[in-house]
């Protein structure tokens, strides 16, 4: 049996092929791995940040849309309130419109000659409605006839002549006058009675029992 013995010193022996790692190589590898890991981490973090930025931008856009919707709702509410106020005003102006139409017809029908109207102003205080009528006439008799005609209207009360004075702006002798009237409270007409309805039976008064003597 043949045994090969190498008697050369260690430093003179031939080196065997293979990978030999020293401390520097290990450190370099660790640094490379650490850099690669940090790169991957930063890449992942950057991607996450971009996703968060997109979500944030989406939320900002949603918030702007909601704010616009809220402002639009406020505008709609304001317009609705204005319409409601106008409707109430129209209701107040048209209340008892039939009565006022008949009133104006009566006033136009009683205007005597040589008398005309300048203004009719409605005044409302509490439950009382009054009118201030201003005009001009060429004679006091015309003013007196106009007041008598106003008194004939069944819905007028407290007809009064407040003032009468000469009007120097007219070439002829003329008078300016102010008349006030009050309007009785409006009552809707009663429904027509049913002629076929039977009259309600009258109850006879209860008789007191006679006291025994």
Percent of the chain with pLDDT over 70: 69
Which among 126, 105, 108, 127 has a CA at the least distance from the CA of 116?
108
Torsional sign, CA 100, 135, 106, 154: positive
Q: Specify the pLDDT at position 6.
A: 59
- Token pair of 132 as six digits: 């201030």
Residues 117-146, mean pLDDT to the nearest whole number: 89
In the chain, domain spans: 24-94, 97-183
Architecture of the CATH domain 97-183: 2-Layer Sandwich (3.30)
Token pair 């991607």 in the structure block, residue:
47
Instruction: Compute the mean pLDDT over every residue in the chain, rounded to the nearest whole number.
Output: 78
Q: What is the pLDDT of residues 27-70, one digit of tens each?
A: 878 888 888 888 888 788 888 888 888 888 888 888 888 888 88
Phi, psi for 4 (deg, rounded to 5): -95, 120
Residues 182 and 136: beta-carbon distance below 8 Å: no
Q: Specify the pLDDT at position 209.
A: 47
């Amino acid at each position: 049996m043949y045994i090969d013995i190498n008697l050369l010193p260690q430093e003179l022996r031939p080196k065997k092929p293979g990978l030999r790692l020293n401390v520097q190589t290990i450190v370099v590898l660790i640094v490379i791995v650490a850099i690669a890991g940090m790169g991957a981490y930063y890449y992942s973090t950057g991607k996450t940040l971009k996703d968060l930025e997109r979500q944030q931008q989406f939320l900002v856009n949603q918030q702007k849309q909601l704010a616009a919707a809220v402002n639009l709702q406020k505008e709609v509410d304001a317009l609705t309130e204005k319409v409601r106020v106008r409707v109430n005003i129209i209701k107040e102006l048209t209340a008892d419109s039939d009565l006022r139409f008949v009133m104006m017809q009566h006033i136009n029908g009683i205007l005597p000659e040589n008398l005309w109207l300048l203004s009719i102003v409605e005044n409302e205080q509490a439950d009382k409605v009054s009118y201030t009528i201003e005009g001009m006439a060429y004679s006091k008799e015309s003013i007196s006839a106009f007041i008598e005609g106003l008194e004939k209207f069944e819905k007028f009360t407290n007809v009064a002549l407040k003032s009468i004075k000469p009007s120097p702006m007219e070439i002829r002798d003329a008078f300016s006058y102010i008349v006030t009237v009050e309007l009785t409270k409006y009552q809707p007409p009663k429904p027509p009675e049913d002629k076929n309805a039977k009259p309600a039976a009258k109850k006879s008064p209860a008789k007191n029992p006679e006291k025994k003597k």
